[in-house]
């Protein structure tokens, strides 16, 4: 599959990116190399190899939840730029 400059222009339009002519030329070459490499990978024999979700074996690294004492409110608010002794004060974001 060959990547053309018009392909790069279309993708940049969809992504709402603007490139100069020299950038479009450079990106066209770079993307063509990437697609060529992926095509090259498709030549690797994979018969008899089980599909994987990850390249390395993944183990659950989460610890079990345990009830622990929480941080006291005064310590939690100690470094807050603005607070009212009960909660963080933040600027309104909705009209």
| Of residues 29, 30, 34, 28, the one with CA closest to residue 11 | 28
Count of CB atoms within 10 A of residue 63's CB?
6
Q: What is the CA radius of gyration of the chain?
A: 26
The pLDDT assigned to 14 comes to: 96
Q: Read off the pLDDT of residues 59-83 as tens digits, 9 standing for 90 and up.
A: 887 888 899 999 999 999 999 999 9
Domain of 21 in residue numbering reads as: 5-43
CA distance 25 to 90: 47
DSSP letter at 89?
Answer: -
Q: Read off the pLDDT of residues 16-63 as tens digits, 9 standing for 90 and up.
A: 999 999 999 999 999 999 999 999 988 999 899 888 888 888 888 788
Is residue 33 assigned to a domain?
Answer: yes
The pLDDT assigned to 57 comes to: 82
CATH code for the domain of 28 = 1.10.20
- Domain total in the chain: 1
């Amino acid at each position: 599959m060959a990547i053309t400059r018009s392909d790069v222009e279309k993708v940049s339009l969809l992504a709402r990116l603007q490139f100069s002519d020299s950038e479009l030329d450079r990106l066209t070459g770079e993307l063509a190399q990437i697609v060529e490499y992926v095509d090259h990978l498709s030549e690797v024999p994979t018969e008899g190899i089980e599909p994987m979700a990850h390249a390395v074996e993944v183990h659950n690294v989460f610890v079990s939840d345990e009830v622990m004492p929480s941080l006291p409110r005064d310590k939690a608010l100690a470094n807050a730029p603005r607070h009212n002794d009960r909660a963080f004060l933040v600027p309104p974001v909705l009209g």
